[in-house]
């Protein structure tokens, strides 16, 4: 398993090598015994940054390279820079603990401790300080391991939340099917049966009164109409029962929410009275199930907010697939939010300050939590030209167990 490279630490990973290189040169030049030859300057300026850059992709190997700075400067008789080397090694060990499996990063830690202890012994002779001081690297390594475990727990919680969400959908769908089947059974066993009996009784009564009705054509026509209407009602009830039982016989497992169902969601929104257009940019990328569910829920909640707060308005939905992200944008024109001379409707978005949860509940909070748990971002704010815009961005190249 290769080291994970979380997006929120990418900037630090790229800025750290040149920063430490500059600090190493400054520390070396401040030492009066340092001889600024081209070779010495090259080693001081490039060795640690080179190891930190390597650690960006191979944390364990990069850690060993950074720690090897000590024996290299001893062999070349370079006086320091010790402080920058120590800090760089400590950071590299912590990065290895975070980005590598424990069994691999542990060997990088041991190698860094041995290299540091041996180098210090070569420079100043044996001392118990040389044995115990490298234990400081354990603190950095363990900090990285703890952060890695915390992110693992966050991913597990995200998986659990997606599973529970799918289970709730399945249970709700099964309950609807069960209720539909029960209603169909009641219609068939009670209503349809009773109407059938009444129709038969009307037919029997008409037969018994045939001699009387022969001289009363108006009453006979009424009896025939009632009999005909009864038969039609029985047929319609049986057709309705058939439709309900057919729906009830389908699989009780509801389809898992997914951005692949966005078109169906848009169609449902249009049926609810909201004109909406969907635009998909880029090539749709298969998403991790937990992320896919959360992205769909964010889209669903954003459209629900438009229905609730901008009735009669118009919505535009854009789903953009990029190499590393998928972005969902829902914009509305704000039509229907005001009545009369600009008076805000009760509960409309004009009643709330920017950034507030305009659902009156936990809509925006829920969307922010769904995006944040995957390292994404959510922006929700009024548009300058009127209306409201919600933009959710999810990273899609993170590693998952």
**Which of 28-37, 88-97, 215-224, 318-327 reaches the highest mean pLDDT?**
318-327
Q: Are 223 and 199 in contact (CB under 8 A)?
A: no
The whole model's pTM is what? 0.41
pLDDT of 1 higher than 60: no
pLDDT digit string, tens, across residues 47-103? 888 888 888 888 888 888 888 888 888 888 777 677 787 888 888 888 888 878 888
Q: How far apart are CA 172 and CA 255, in angstroms?
A: 12
60, 134, 294, 329, 336 from 305: Cα distances, Å = 48, 57, 16, 13, 13
Question: Given this model, what pLDDT does residue 248 score?
Answer: 47
pLDDT digit string, tens, across residues 275-298? 899 999 998 888 888 888 889 989
61, 86, 142, 334, 349 from 136: Cα distances, Å = 19, 10, 10, 59, 54
Residue 373 three-state SS: coil
Residue 44: Cβ-neighbour burial (10 angstroms; 0-12, 13-18, 19+):
buried
Q: How far apart are CA 22 and CA 182, in angstroms?
A: 76
Strands 388-395 and 276-281: unpaired
Q: Are 106 and 148 in contact (CB under 8 A)?
A: no
Average pLDDT over residues 312-331: 92
Q: How far apart are CA 29 and CA 205, in angstroms?
A: 118
Bigger pLDDT: 164 or 281?
281
Bigger pLDDT: 138 or 229?
138
- In this structure, which long-range contacts are made by residues 152-155, counting pairs with CB atoms below 8 Å and at least 24 apart in sequence? 152/401, 154/373, 155/400, 155/401
Question: Given this model, what pLDDT does residue 29 score?
Answer: 81
Whether a cis peptide bond, with omega within 30° of 0, leads into 81 is yes
Q: Nearest Cα to 330, choosing from 364, 355, 306?
A: 306
Question: Given this model, what pLDDT does residue 12 score?
Answer: 65
DSSP 5: -
Please provide the average confidence, as pLDDT, over all residues in the chain: 77
Fold of 259-395: Heat Shock Protein 90 (3.30.565)
**Which of 78-92, 333-347, 353-367 reaches the highest mean pLDDT?**
78-92
Question: Given this model, what pLDDT does residue 11 score?
Answer: 61
List the end-to-end C-alpha distance of the chain, in Å, as a whole number: 10
Q: How far apart are CA 368 and CA 85, in angstroms?
A: 41
Strands 276-281 and 315-321: parallel
**Which of 254-268, 270-284, 343-357 reaches the highest mean pLDDT?**
270-284
Structure tokens at 323: 């190499």
- In this structure, which long-range contacts are made by residues 112-116, counting pairs with CB atoms below 8 Å and at least 24 apart in sequence? 112/63, 112/64, 112/66, 112/67, 112/137, 113/137, 113/138, 115/64, 115/67, 115/68, 115/70, 115/71, 116/67, 116/70, 116/89
* Residue pointed to by tokens 């004009």: 350
Q: How far apart are CA 62 and CA 92, in angstroms?
A: 7
Confidence of residue 255 (pLDDT cuts 50, 70, 90): low
Beta-strand ranges (E) seen in 123-240 are none
Question: Given this model, what pLDDT does residue 335 score?
Answer: 64
């Amino acid at each position: 398993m290769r080291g994970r490279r979380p997006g929120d630490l990418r900037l630090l990973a790229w800025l750290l090598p040149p920063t430490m290189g500059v600090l190493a040169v400054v520390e070396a030049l401040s030492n009066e015994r340092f001889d600024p030859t081209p070779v010495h300057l090259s080693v001081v300026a490039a060795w640690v940054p080179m190891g930190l850059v390597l650690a960006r992709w191979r944390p364990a190997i990069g850690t060993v390279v950074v720690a090897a700075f000590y024996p290299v400067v001893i062999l070349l008789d370079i006086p320091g820079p010790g402080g920058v080397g120590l800090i760089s090694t400590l950071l590299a060990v912590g990065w290895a603990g975070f980005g590598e499996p424990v069994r691999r990063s542990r060997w990088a830690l041991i190698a860094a401790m041995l290299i540091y202890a041996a180098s210090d012994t070569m420079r100043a002779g044996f001392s118990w300080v040389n044995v115990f001081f490298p234990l400081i690297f354990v603190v950095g390594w363990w900090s990285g391991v703890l952060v890695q475990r915390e992110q693992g727990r966050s991913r597990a919680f995200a998986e659990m939340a997606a599973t529970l969400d799918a289970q709730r959908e399945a249970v709700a769908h099964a309950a609807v099917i069960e209720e539909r089947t029960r209603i169909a059974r009641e219609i068939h066993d009670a209503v349809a049966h009773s109407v059938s009996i009444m129709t038969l009784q009307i037919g029997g009564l008409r037969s018994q009164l045939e001699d009387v009705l022969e001289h009363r054509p108006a009453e006979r026509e009424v009896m025939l109409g009632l009999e005909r209407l009864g038969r039609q009602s029985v047929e319609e009830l049986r057709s309705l029962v058939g439709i309900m039982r057919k729906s009830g016989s389908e699989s009780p497992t509801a389809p898992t929410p997914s951005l692949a169902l966005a078109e169906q969601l848009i169609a449902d929104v249009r049926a609810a009275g909201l004109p909406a257009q969907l635009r998909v940019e880029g090539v749709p990328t298969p998403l991790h199930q937990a992320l896919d569910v959360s992205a769909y829920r964010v889209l669903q909640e954003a459209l629900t907010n438009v229905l609730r707060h901008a009735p009669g308005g118009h919505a535009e939905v854009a789903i953009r697939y990029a190499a590393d992200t998928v972005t969902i944008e829902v914009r509305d024109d704000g039509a229907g939010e005001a009545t009369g001379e600009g008076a805000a409707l009760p509960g409309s978005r004009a009643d709330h300050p920017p950034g507030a949860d305009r659902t009156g509940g936990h809509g925006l909070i829920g969307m922010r939590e769904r995006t944040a748990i995957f390292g994404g971002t959510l922006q929700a704010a009024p548009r300058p030209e009127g209306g409201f815009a919600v933009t959710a961005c999810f990273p899609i190249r993170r590693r998952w167990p």
